[in-house]
Amino acid sequence: MTNETVIKTEDLTKRFGDFTAVKKISFEVKRGEIFGFLGANGAGKTTAMKMLIGILKPTSGNAKIAGFDIYNQTEQIKKNIGYMSQKFSLYEDLTIMENVQLFAGIYGLSDDEIKQRSSELIHKLNLQNQADKLVESLPLGWKQKLAFSLAIIHNPRIVFLDEPTSGVDPITRRQFWNMIYEAASNGITVFVTTHYMDEAEYCNRITILVDGVIKALDSPAALKEKYNTSSIEDVFVLLARGAKRND
């Protein structure tokens, strides 16, 4: 982690009609930091994330992602970030290699880079013998590892992960986090949401969003000390139990 700020938001707000989904959230994330974004269902996580990746215009407030403004530099933002979600990550009816080449192309790599990075990636994941198989034949955990590798194939400044490990078996879940650590140590900032509270502990800092407002923002250890609890789950329950909203 370095001192360089790669995400900075100031009073970021999104209203839908008379409903305020995200209310004046302000935070900074440093380069190489693993930043956990937690909240109850309906707390506003997805809305906030959509604004940060440049696909939803805020109602008010400011944010800079990798130095680019979220109002009028969204194309530059998209080139400098990676994104993966739990629900959609890969094309099931394409082979592993076809997915790799497609994503590398979408992220704007040159033909030479595509050739080189895809072969590196396949080797690193040990998928040499399966490169021609359809993605649908891979177990979920492998799909998610592949999807993560693709989300960072263009070496982005920041990668956004939306519940990347939901439903994944416990061993693969941990292998996935090793990949996150590795990416972070290579200077990629990781912005991640999860419902597994043990995973919150792997983050450098976490925020807990309740009804669109940041209720807590600190390192896991500092939060446990502040709320005098033994686990992040207890902190979460303490802060989120009073939530009015539910999606």
Q: Which residues bind other proteins (CB under 8 A)?
A: 39-43, 86, 134, 137, 139-141, 163, 166-172, 174, 177-178, 181, 185, 195-202, 220-221, 231-233, 236-237, 240-241, 243, 245-247
Of 8 and 174, CB closest to other proteins: 174
Of 198 and 218, CB closest to other proteins: 198
Least separation, in Å, of the C-beta of 198 and other proteins? 4
Of 34 and 70, CB closest to other proteins: 34
Least separation, in Å, of the C-beta of 181 and other proteins? 5
Of 39 and 156, CB closest to other proteins: 39
Least separation, in Å, of the C-beta of 57 and other proteins? 23
Hey, how many other C-beta atoms are within 10 angstroms of the C-beta on 60?
11
Question: C-alpha angle with apex 6: 9 to 11, nearest 5 degrees?
Answer: 5
